[in-house]
Amino acid sequence: MSKHKISCIRCLLRDLDQKAALKQVTAYRERLPVQQRANKELFEERLSICRDCKWLRLGVCQKSGYYVEASAYDKTKHCPLGTKIW
């Protein structure tokens, strides 16, 4: 049995063994002003859309270049495909 975790292409950082990147994202989220932070429901809704999106690769949106766990947490940010997506 392989010792390496197999990553799916549409994984979020929290599903991957990418501790440094996740730490960076967490620090970014903590620096956001409270009023700019998405609540848990909005954040998870956005991430569930990203999980099914062909542009998600290893936690990064290939359209925006952002870690989706960072951008989805910021209420002022939107999906680069349009605000109807999120």
The least CB distance from residue 43 to ligand SF4, in Å, is 12
Largest CA distance in the chain: 47
The least CB distance from residue 83 to ligand SF4, in Å, is 11
4 vs 47 by CB, closer to ligand SF4: 47
42 vs 81 by CB, closer to ligand SF4: 81
The least CB distance from residue 10 to ligand SF4, in Å, is 9
| Rounded (10°) CA dihedral 70, 4, 56, 24 | 20
11 vs 32 by CB, closer to ligand SF4: 11
Give the footprint of ligand SF4 on this chain (CB under 6 A).
49-50, 53, 55-56, 61, 63-64, 68, 79-81, 85
